[in-house]
């Protein structure tokens, strides 16, 4: 598997992506004749030309679990399918979370309580699958690859993002965050005290006097 430098077989966690973009390590598992929605995608800089008529489709990538030897099929509903136009898949964290899955993108070196991975949940089967992130530089990613026909037909499936229409500008996200902050106000950062004990200048002078 090539990592980020090779731009192959990875699914990057991209907090700036507002929709999951399915790249060369994915395949569509629906006929393009069934795809009715297409969009034009503008790049981050106006110096680049937009990509026109990208299909919003159902895509799949496969993850091999080295701990148990099993391969899991990860499904991305309502994804922008770019295929070989981009080497890697870009995961939209909030689109994953909106489907009832759990995603922690904080590396454990910065927060030991973080799982730094994705827990995919299938509520109907009451099953879940945890997939840890790996890192290359500062980028968190999943080592996933394009699935074979056999894997598509036989492997256990988990929906990372659902098939329901994804409205990335839905006002519910803004209203939901405001409501949560109203019910559970954030602490005033100016009043937050470090949990570690600090020594004041007076205490330091007292200790030096004792020595």
**Domain extents for the chain?**
4-186
Nearest Cα neighbor of 79 from 59, 99, 97 is 59
> Which residues are CB-contacts of 132 (< 8 A; sequence separation ≥ 6)?
115, 116, 117
Tens-level pLDDT at each residue, the chain (211 residues): 444 444 568 999 999 899 999 999 999 987 777 777 888 887 777 777 878 888 889 999 999 999 999 999 999 999 999 999 888 999 999 999 999 999 999 999 999 999 999 999 998 899 999 999 999 999 999 999 999 999 999 999 999 999 999 998 899 999 999 998 887 776 654 444 444 344 445 554 554 555 4
The two beta strands, 21-22 and 71-81, are parallel
Backbone φ and ψ of 27, nearest 5°: -135, 155
């Amino acid at each position: 598997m090539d990592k980020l430098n090779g731009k192959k077989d990875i699914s990057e966690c991209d907090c700036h992506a507002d929709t999951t973009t399915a790249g060369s390590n994915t395949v569509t598992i629906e006929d393009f004749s069934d795809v009715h929605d297409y969009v034009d995608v503008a790049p981050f800089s106006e110096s680049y030309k937009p990509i026109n008529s990208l299909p919003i489709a159902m895509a799949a990538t496969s993850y091999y679990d080295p701990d148990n030897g099993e391969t899991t099929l990860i499904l991305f509903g309502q994804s922008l399918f770019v295929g070989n136009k981009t080497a890697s898949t870009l995961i939209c964290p909030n689109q994953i979370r909106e489907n009832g899955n759990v995603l922690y993108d904080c590396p454990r070196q910065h927060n030991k309580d973080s799982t730094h991975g994705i827990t995919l949940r299938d509520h109907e089967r009451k099953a879940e699958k945890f997939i840890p992130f790996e890192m290359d530089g500062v980028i968190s990613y999943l080592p996933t690859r394009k699935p074979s026909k056999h894997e598509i037909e036989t492997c256990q499936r988990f929906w990372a993002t659902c098939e329901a229409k994804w409205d990335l500008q839905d006002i519910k996200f803004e209203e939901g965050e405001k409501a949560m902050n109203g019910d559970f106000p954030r602490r005033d950062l100016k009043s937050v005290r470090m949990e570690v004990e600090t020594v004041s200048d007076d205490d330091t002078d007292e200790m030096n006097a004792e020595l």
